[in-house]
Structures are given as C-alpha cells and as structure tokens.
C-alpha cells in the first residue's frame, strides 16, 4: 500500500543553524526587545518597515527592489521564534482596533512590540473597538468610555458590546430594554431622548415612514395591530425549529379561516413561542415565510387565512362560499353566517355583508335558495357509484372524484343522498353505517396496513381522534413512523390482542420500582419478553404499545419517557421533573449527565435544553464549571471551599 | 439489467420524492438473484475501504456474498431482528432498485431475504418487493433520493455516525462531490449550519487518517468511534480564542492526543479545550512535546514498524464491539503514549475553577457599567411626565437598593 505524505513535513534539524547563520547572530533571545538590541543582518530593513515605511521606500534606501525587501522581511519574520514579550500583547493588538497612541497610553509597553505584531500580521480582519477591551478589562471608568464612545458615534449596549450609534442599534437597544408595546411615535420620543445623551439629535432624525420601514426589517421585532410592536425574543432561525409544530395547525379542511382559529387551536404552542395575540401569529408566520407551510396559501390583512385548495383569488373564494351555501340550501342566511363563525372563526358582520353582496342572486328573503339541478344522465351515476364507494370520505375527496367524471357537477345535499351517503359536518358517510365509528372501522380495519398520511388526508380532528382510539384499543398497532398494522393482519401473523395486553403487563410489573423509564432503559435493565423475540419490530412499536396502557403516563422527548403512575406523586409530570429526578442530590458534570441520559435511557436531550429547563427548578448551572448543582449552597462549597 | 419479464406487479404502491416532486410508483416482485448491492452506499463504502488493496469480485453473486458479510458484521443483532420480523410478517417496506439491478435502498431487507431463501424458509422469500427507477434519472437525482430515504426519521436512528461522515465527505468534499451544502441541507432536512459543521468534522476525519498515515481507510475511524472526539476537536478549533498562528500546533496536539488517548476520548478532548484556548498553555505543551510529536510522526510514516495487523480486529473482537463501548486505539509505542498524556494532563489544571470563582465579580462590574446608562436627568424628565413611569422608577430603585444591601450584608 502506498502511503501519501500529505500531512506532516519533517523538520530539518540543521535548519535552525542555517537560520542563525543567515541572520548573523549566535542565538535569538526570548524577547523581541532584546533581539532588536542585537546587530543582526538586515536589521534596518526590519526597523524601517516597522516604522511604517513602504516596501518602495525601504528599497530605495537599501538600493534593492521592492520585491526583495518583501522577501527579506518575510524571511526574518518566519525565522523569529514566538517572543515572550510579543505574546503578551499580541491578542490585544490583533483583536482590537487600537492606535499606537492608545497602545502606549493604556498598555504601557514598548511601541516596537505593537509595530512588529502589526507588520507580521497580514490578515485583514475586522477588529473590535478598542473601547470594548477597556470595558472588559476595567481599565478606565465606564463614564469616560461612554463619553469617548459618543464622540466616535458608538455606545455600549445591553449586551455590554460596543456598537455604532445608528438608528438600527438604537431601536434594538430601546426595544430590548423596554419590554412593552410601542408605537412609532412613542419610539421616536425614546430615540430622541437616547440620542440627546450623545448630543446627536440633529442628524439622526428619521421620518415615521422610514422608521416603520426599518422596523419591518428588524429581526427581533414583532408587530401586532394598530401599528403596535414590541421586542420579540425569537429570530427567524430559532422559529424555524418550530415549523413542524406550526404546520400541524394547518391540518384542517381546505377553506378560509379567521386567524384567531389557529391562535386558539394550540394555546401551549402560542405561549411557548411568546405569541400574545392572533395578529402576532400572522406576523410570525409571515416572518418565517408562507412557503414553509404546505397548506397555508396566504394571510390577508393579518386576519383571513387561506388553506389547502383555497387560494386568495376570486375563483377559489367563490368556490369556498358556494360549496358551503350548497350545504344550506333552503335555510336562513343567518345559519350559514353562524356556521362560518363557529367552524372557521370568520367574522359574522363582514361575512354577512360579503355573502349578501356577492351571492345576492341565491338569497331570497334572507333564505338561501339554490335548487341545484342533479345530473340527468344515468351514465354519470353508474360511473360515480364506481369511484365513490368507500364507507366514509371528506367533501374534498368526493368532489375531486366526481369532477373527474363531470367537471361541472356540484356536490349538493341531494346528490350526496342520491349516491347513498349522508352528510356529517366535514365528512360524508355511507348510509349503511350509522355513525363515524362504524364507517372508520369499515374503512380502516379491513386492510393489512393504514398509512398515517391517509388519516391526515381527512384533515379532520375526528379522523385523528378515531385513529387514536383504535390505537388505544389495539385495533391499530403503530409499526413505524408512517404506518399502522391492523389487528386483522396481526392476527393473520399468529398473534391475538391478549398477547399485547400480556406484554404490557410484563412491562408494568418489570418497571414496578421505577418512577421513570424508557424502552431503552428496560432493555438495559435486562427486560426480555417472548413477545418481543417473536415480533422483532423497531423500538417505536413497543413504545407505542406501552403508551396505550392506562397505568402509564408519557412525556415525549426524542423517544418516549414513561412514568409509573403508582410511584409518582405529581399528577402530570413534565420533562423538568424527570431531569430533576435523574440529577439527584449531587453535583453533576453537564456533559456526563447528557451522556448518562443517552446511555441509560437512549435519550438525546441537548445541553441547552437541559440548562433551559433547569431555570424552572432550584438547580443551578455554572457555565464556568460546566456543572449542575442541586442548589446554590453546593455550588459555593465547591468553588469557594466553604 | 432487470427486464420486464423478470418481475411481477403487486397491488402495492409507494410514494417517493424524486426531482423535487412526490411520485407514486408501482411495487413489483423481483427475484433476489437479479439484484446487486450498491458499493457507493456510505455504509458499504466504509467497509469496502478496508478492502482497498484487495480486489472485490466483479461477478454479481460473489460480490454480493462479500458485501453480505460486511452487512452481517456491521450489526448482527439488527439483521437478526429484521430477518425474524420479515419471516413472521413478510416484507412490509418496499426496497428501491435501479433498472440495472443496483439496490439504492433496502440493504438489510435484501440481506435478510437472501438468508431466508438460502435457509429454505418458503417460496415467498425468493423475491424482494421493490420499486424500479428507470435509468432516465441522473446519478445526482438518485443520490438525492437516497439521501431522502436515509435521513427520513425512521432510518436516522441506526445509521453509524462515521458512515454519515463518509457520505458527507463523498457528497460535499471529495473531488467528485455533486452537492452544495445548501442543497444537501434541503435534502436531509437539516440546517445548513449543521451540514457545514458536519463538513468540518468530515474534513478532520480525512486529515486525521492522513495524519496517522492511513488515508481514506474509514473503517479505522469506525472501529475507533472517532466521531465523538473529532466533533469535540472541530468545536475547539473553531474557537476564536485560538490565534491563527497557533492553529496548526493546536490541531497537531489534538491529533496526537487522540492517537494516544486511553479510555473516553471525547471527554479527554473536551477537557483539553481550556488548554488549547490559552496561548501560554498551548505554547508550553507544544514546546514540551516537540520531540515527541516528531517521534510520533516518524512512527506513523515508518512502514516497516507498522504492520497492518495493529489496526485489524478479529471476528471475535468485532462482536465484542457491539456490546461494550471500548475504543480501539492505534497501537502507538507506550513511551510516546505516556509522554503525550503526562504533558497534556498536567496542563489541564484548575483554570476552570479560577474562572468560576471570579464570575460574580465580573457580573457586578458589568452591572455597574450598565448603570451609567441610566441617565439621572432623563429619568427626572420621565418621572415628571408620567406617574406610572415614576412608580416604575421607584420600584426599580428599590430593587437595586435591595440588591446592594444583600451584597453589603454578605461582605
């Protein structure tokens, strides 16, 4: 096998000797200042370059070309070792935007060090303001810095960083420090006051209009109604982590909804995302970008939300309202308005006005009169009966199927009846089934597998709930991330429901003495079961079966954490309770703890999540020690040895 | 080549995302002997790297036999489970194959079926259920599909991290890489920043294998479970506290430590962070280890002293790796190991503790700095204008006083 030498280059022991000879010195001292005392070769090239002369100027003095000067300079620098005195100040000179004068004044070291470092450093990096250094090191009084900074159009912000005194930074600063709702006028006042501290008001005037423009582009600003806005703690990148949760909101039937519908759908999520009202929700969605939400098409005026097949155009809108009117043929308009409010959160007044105006021809004495004609040809019904034959559908599914036969057909209550179905809100059910439960049974439980997607396609909470109930009764068994196996297939493979119950009993009795456990934990503890050996599924299968037990509660992390209700005094334990329990009463290294959760339970919980959760408890975290302590006293003991 | 006469249509279908759109494919039954493992697959490529100097058989069945051995060894437990499950319930998830018979997705299912067929468990195991992709798709489109499938939720769980790094190297870093980080991030549904992080870890893996003079022999990385420590090294080397001048020294010291560490490498590397970030300590380590690093390098590049055996793991050991977390270290001479470990450990001192001690003082000083922002004159104006603001000011001042008093009482 041929071995490439790509990484390490061998040092030549004689190189050092040759270098000394080239410099014409016997040895190189450990400090630059001592070295500069020596009479080494090309000394004046180095000194002149350090003094700020250009390559050209030095070349003219020495009578050599510019390029030669450059070569000699870089050779000297490459030969020289790391000098102790240079090392001491190198970070400051390289990291901060510092002048020679400031270097002498504050650092109080020979200027040659400064010049040498700047000469040797060819990188063109953005340096931090020098004031930042002074601030960190407590070299000068803060008010002096503030004053000096003001002269240079800079100030110290809430994060103790030196930033430039411009409109954007000041907006951020004011909103961050005042966590309340602002209007543009109010912000103008506060900004004026802020700038006046730095004698700066004159140039920094900005029109209300321009200020609004800036605000719409700031990351950490959220708008609500009537031009109000406030500081918002999430930026877009953080929000992206919640796209899946937000997407779940839109798993509802196609249609036009009032934004409040979604705001009220998941109060926990709204709290988590610090969204205070529906207008803020609309703005958060806009900030992330509608394209990340498959079923969300548009939000109009922070209020009307277009979902699924319903786009924000005249045709879609007409279709949406007309389909609904069809369901209420012969009934009072008021009933439709109430229906739209109850099911879609559409504002009653504006809906009434809109329908009365746009659909005036269908409204007679405040009643809906459509008299939709049924298709007349028998051929249509033969074809329709062939494609519409399952026990239960949602409206959209049936419409799609029928429109393939006849583009103009309208799904009226009469037609539904004629096809042998009846209407149950969002779904239509075959007449031979007396309710949704029977219909879903007949639809799902006759096959071997059911895909979770086909359940989601109903866009109906009752379908989701039905599937959940079937899972609890073990008529459906979750086998992987996108499929259920039906009890029918399970029985065909030689098992019965009682095998599942026996398995759950085994788990419950094995974990009697544990408060929390996971599937991984059970296996680590030596849990074995004939059922597992015979079925050999992935862990999700067993986790979901344990999940169906009424004796067990569940916390969802990357895998399921189960709680033995017999051993837990808290009604609904949360992840923080689990973390506290696991941390116990001794200080723990955070990385050890994360590893322990992984090894013992198979859980992947990030450090930042653990630290975030601990803020709700009495545990304290020291970032310097990278340790978690049960309480402050224990932290003091370790750090201050008291 | 799979001909139409070779397969039989089933009633099942499968959705796949290809060319950016969801497409429904018919599932067919194909006789097992028509298929061949995919040598480009990250998992298989890791194992093939072990074979570098031997020639893999060209003939399909011989080639499949060798790869089957790899797959069996890589995770015997998991294969056993898949096999038992398929025997009981049948093959539930269709595989994905190309027209030329190469398997894009479903290596383990294919292996299980091959074994069941050999064991004569029934005629239904002579076929694999799969969808066939026509050769109209480009290699990049197929690779994209493969990424989608591998990174789908259900598969993430048991994909070895080193195999993943090998994939990232091949798709993003190697000379033939076809993906940009943004494209890759989109396909595997991860943040681009995370993909970039993984790229730097993959690059470190390549560098490290170069350093120990075993370029591209990924199985070493896999046996030694290098992903954890390499991830730590990557984090440390990104630190802004490391002077660009010192970068290579820092990297060398970390690599030398990784090559000589005993026990939990991730932890050891993590602990080195404070040393590497402190220029004084870094220089001290670098000076003390100068000779040792040279020795180590010499040792790695000396072909005669290093036989291939020192990296190899016997069949028996490989089973052991499944059950315990022991790492296999490169066999570096003991005196070098001792020198590196002693030097590094003496530097990992109580600097952590010193920082922790002073933390509250630093916070107090920040607090005072910030207090000067509260302009007294302006506060006066505010309180004149609004009673509510005035109340707020007083309650804040009270809190401030309370805080000061608490501190004073302690002193």
Flag whether pLDDT at A9 surpasses 70: no
Predicted confidence at residue B312, as pLDDT, reads 45
Q: Which residues contact B172 (CB under 8 A, 6 or more apart)?
A: B179, B180, B181, B184, B195, B199, B202
Residues of A with Cβ-Cβ distance to B80 under 8 angstroms? 536
Predicted confidence at residue A8, as pLDDT, reads 41
Predicted confidence at residue A204, as pLDDT, reads 61
Predicted confidence at residue A542, as pLDDT, reads 95
Overall average pLDDT of the A314-338 stretch: 86
Nearest Cα of chain B lies from the Cα of A159 at a distance, in angstroms, of 9
Structure token pair of residue A620: 């304290």
> B270, A138: Cβ pair inside 8 Å?
no
CATH 1.20.1300 fits A166-230, yes or no: no
**Cβ atoms within 10 Å, residue A509:** 8
Residue spans of beta strands (DSSP E) within B111-169: 127-133
Q: Which residue has the tokens 């809108």?
A: A317
The SS3 call for residue B33 is helix
Higher pLDDT, A450 or A173: A450
Count of CB contacts below 8 A, A vs B? 103
**Residue B183, exposed/middle/buried by CB under 10 A (0-12, 13-18, 19+)?**
middle
Predicted confidence at residue A375, as pLDDT, reads 84
Mean pLDDT of chain A: 85
Nearest Cα of chain B lies from the Cα of A33 at a distance, in angstroms, of 19
Nearest Cα of chain B lies from the Cα of A6 at a distance, in angstroms, of 7
The SS3 call for residue B61 is helix
Disruptive mutation site among A90, A201, A487, A536 for chain B (greatest number of B CBs within 10 Å)? A536
> B303, A481: Cβ pair inside 8 Å?
no
Flag whether pLDDT at A138 surpasses 70: no
Predicted confidence at residue B52, as pLDDT, reads 56
Q: Which residues contact B187 (CB under 8 A, 6 or more apart)?
A: B144, B147, B148, B151, B179
Predicted confidence at residue A272, as pLDDT, reads 84
> A87, B355: Cβ pair inside 8 Å?
no
Q: What does the domain layout of chain A look like in residue ranges?
A: 166-230, 233-307, 575-640
Nearest to residue B86, comparing CAs of B71, B106, B102? B106
Predicted confidence at residue A478, as pLDDT, reads 94
Structure token pair of residue B259: 């090559």
Residues of A with Cβ-Cβ distance to B303 under 8 angstroms? 3
> Which tens digit of pLDDT belongs to each residue from A42-81?
888 888 888 888 888 888 888 888 888 888 888 888 888 8
Ordered mean pLDDT values, 10 residues apiece, chain B (411 residues): 82 82 89 88 72 71 88 85 93 91 90 94 92 85 82 60 86 86 84 90 92 84 87 89 83 90 82 84 86 85 54 42 44 84 76 75 85 84 85 89 89 83
Hey, what's the torsion of the CAs at A373, A376, A378, A379, to 10 degrees?
A: -90
Nearest 5 degrees, angle CA A477-CA A478-CA A484? 80
Minimum CA–CA partner of B90 in chain A = A493
Hey, what's the torsion of the CAs at A399, A404, A406, A412, to 10 degrees?
A: -10
> Which tens digit of pLDDT belongs to each residue from A580-623?
999 999 999 898 899 899 889 989 888 888 888 888 788 999 88
Minimum CA–CA partner of A626 in chain B = B352
As a whole-number percent, the residues of chain A with pLDDT over 90 amount to: 24
Predicted confidence at residue B153, as pLDDT, reads 52
Minimum CA–CA partner of A138 in chain B = B365
Predicted confidence at residue A618, as pLDDT, reads 87
> A538, B154: Cβ pair inside 8 Å?
yes
Higher pLDDT, A6 or B31: B31
**DSSP codes of every residue in A490-554:** HHHTT--HHHHHHHHHHHHHHTTT-SEE-HHHHHHTT---HHHHHH---HHHHHHHHHT-TTEEE
Structure token pair of residue A53: 């002369």
pTM: 0.63
Nearest Cα of chain A lies from the Cα of B125 at a distance, in angstroms, of 16
Predicted confidence at residue B51, as pLDDT, reads 65
> A7, B210: Cβ pair inside 8 Å?
yes
Residues of A with Cβ-Cβ distance to B294 under 8 angstroms? 10-11
* Prediction ipTM score: 0.72
Residues of B with Cβ-Cβ distance to A10 under 8 angstroms? 294, 297
């Amino acid at each position: 096998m041929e071995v490439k030498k790509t990484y390490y280059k061998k040092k030549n022991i004689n190189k050092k000797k040759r270098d000394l000879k080239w410099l014409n010195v016997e040895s190189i001292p450990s400090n630059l200042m001592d070295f500069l005392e020596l009479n080494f070769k090309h000394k004046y090239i180095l000194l002149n370059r350090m003094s700020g002369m250009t390559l050209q100027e030095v070349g003219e003095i020495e009578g050599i070309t510019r390029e030669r000067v450059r070569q000699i300079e870089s050779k000297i620098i490459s030969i020289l070792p790391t000098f102790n005195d240079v090392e001491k100040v190198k970070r400051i000179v390289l990291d901060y935007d510092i002048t020679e004068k400031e270097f002498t004044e504050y650092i109080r070291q020979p200027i040659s060090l400064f010049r040498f470092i700047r000469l040797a450093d060819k990188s063109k990096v953005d340096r931090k303001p020098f004031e930042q250094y002074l601030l960190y090191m407590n070299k000068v009084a803060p008010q002096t810095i503030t004053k000096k900074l003001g002269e240079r159009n800079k100030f110290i912000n809430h994060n103790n960083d030196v930033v430039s005194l411009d409109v954007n930074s000041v907006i951020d600063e004011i909103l961050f420090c005042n966590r309340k709702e602002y209007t543009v006028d109010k912000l103008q006042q506060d900004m004026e006051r802020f700038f006046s501290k730095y004698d700066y008001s004159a140039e920094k005037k900005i029109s209300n209009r321009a200020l609004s423009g800036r605000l719409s582009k700031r990351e950490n600003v959220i708008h609500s109604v009537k031009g109000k806005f406030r500081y918002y703690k999430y930026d877009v990148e953080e929000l992206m982590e919640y796209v899946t949760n937000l997407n779940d909101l839109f798993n509802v039937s196609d249609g036009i909804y009032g934004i409040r519908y979604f705001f009220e759908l998941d109060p926990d999520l709204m709290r988590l995302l610090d969204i205070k009202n529906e207008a803020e929700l609309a703005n958060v969605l806009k900030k992330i970008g509608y394209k990340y939400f498959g079923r969300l098409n548009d939000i109009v005026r922070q209020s009307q939300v277009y979902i699924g097949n319903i786009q924000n155009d005249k045709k879609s809108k007409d279709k949406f309202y007309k389909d609904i009117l069809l369901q209420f043929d012969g009934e009072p308009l008021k009933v439709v308005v109430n229906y739209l409010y109850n099911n879609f959160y559409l504002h009653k007044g504006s809906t009434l006005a809109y329908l009365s105006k746009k659909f005036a021809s269908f409204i007679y004495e405040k009643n809906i009169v459509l008299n939709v004609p049924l298709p007349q040809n028998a051929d249509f019904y033969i074809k329709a009966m062939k494609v519409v034959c399952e026990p239960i559908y949602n409206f959209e599914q049936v419409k799609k199927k029928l429109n393939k036969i006849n583009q103009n057909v309208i799904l009226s209550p009469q037609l539904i009846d004629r096809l042998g179905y009846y209407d149950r809100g969002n779904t239509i059910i075959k007449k031979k089934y007396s309710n949704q439960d029977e219909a879903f049974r007949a639809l799902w439980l006759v096959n071997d597998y059911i895909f979770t997607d086909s359940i989601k396609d109903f866009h109906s909470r009752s379908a989701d709930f039905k599937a959940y109930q079937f899972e609890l009764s073990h008529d459906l068994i979750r086998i992987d991330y996108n499929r259920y196996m039906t009890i029918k297939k399970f029985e065909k493979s030689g098992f019965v429901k009682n095998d599942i119950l026996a398995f759950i009993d085994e788990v419950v009795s094995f974990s009697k003495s544990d408060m929390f456990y996971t599937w991984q934990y059970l296996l680590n503890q030596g849990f074995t079961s004939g059922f597992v050996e015979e079925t050999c599924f992935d862990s999700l299968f067993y986790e979901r079966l344990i999940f169906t037990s009424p004796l067990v509660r569940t916390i969802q992390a990357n895998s399921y954490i189960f709680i033995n209700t017999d051993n837990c005094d808290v009604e609904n334990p949360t992840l923080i309770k689990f973390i506290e329990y696991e941390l116990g009463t001794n200080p723990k290294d955070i990385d050890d703890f994360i590893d322990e959760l992984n090894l013992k339970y198979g859980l992947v919980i990030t450090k930042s999540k653990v630290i975030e959760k601990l803020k709700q408890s009495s545990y304290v975290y020291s970032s310097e020690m990278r340790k978690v302590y049960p309480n402050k006293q224990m932290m003091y003991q370790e750090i201050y040895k008291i | 080549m799979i001909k139409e006469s070779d397969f039989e249509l089933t009633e099942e279908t499968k959705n796949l995302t290809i060319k950016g759109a969801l497409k429904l494919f018919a599932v067919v039954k194909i006789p097992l002997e028509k298929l061949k493992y995919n040598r480009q697959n990250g998992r298989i490529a890791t194992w093939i790297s072990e074979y570098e100097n031997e020639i893999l058989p060209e003939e399909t069945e011989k080639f499949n036999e060798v790869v089957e051995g790899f797959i069996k060894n890589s995770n015997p437990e998991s294969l056993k489970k898949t096999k038992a499950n398929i025997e009981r319930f049948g093959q539930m998830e269709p595989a994905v194959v190309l027209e030329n018979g190469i398997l894009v997705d479903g290596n383990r299912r294919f292996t299980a079926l091959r074994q069941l067929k050999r064991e004569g468990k029934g005629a239904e195991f002579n076929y694999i259920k799969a969808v066939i992709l026509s050769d109209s798709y480009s290699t990049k489109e197929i690779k994209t599909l493969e990424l989608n499938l591998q990174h789908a939720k259900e598969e993430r769980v048991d994909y070895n991290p080193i195999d993943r790094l090998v994939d990232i190297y091949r798709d993003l870093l190697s000379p033939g890489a076809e993906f940009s980080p943004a494209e890759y991030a989109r396909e595997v549904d991860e943040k681009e920043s995370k993909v970039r992080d993984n790229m730097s870890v993959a690059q470190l893996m390549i560098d490290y294998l170069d350093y120990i003079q075993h370029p591209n022999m990924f199985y070493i990385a896999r046996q030694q479970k290098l992903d954890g420590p390499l991830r730590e090294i990557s984090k440390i080397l990104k630190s802004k506290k490391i002077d660009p001048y010192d970068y290579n020294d820092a990297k060398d010291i970390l690599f030398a430590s990784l090559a000589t560490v005993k026990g939990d490498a991730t932890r050891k590397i993590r602990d080195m962070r404070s040393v590497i970030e402190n220029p004084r300590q870094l220089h001290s380590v670098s000076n003390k280890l100068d000779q040792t690093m040279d020795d180590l390098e010499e040792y790695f590049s000396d072909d005669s002293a290093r036989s291939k055996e020192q990296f190899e793991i016997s069949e028996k050991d490989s089973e052991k790796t499944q059950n315990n977390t022991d790492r296999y270290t490169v066999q570096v001479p003991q005196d070098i190991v001792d020198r590196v470990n002693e030097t590094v450990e003496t530097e990992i001192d109580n600097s952590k503790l010193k920082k922790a001690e002073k933390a509250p003082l630093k916070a107090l000083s920040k607090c005072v700095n910030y207090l000067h922002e509260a302009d007294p004159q302006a506060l006066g104006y505010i309180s004149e204008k609004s009673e509510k603001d005035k109340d707020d000011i007083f309650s804040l001042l009270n809190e401030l006083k309370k805080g000061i008093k608490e501190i004073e009482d302690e002193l």
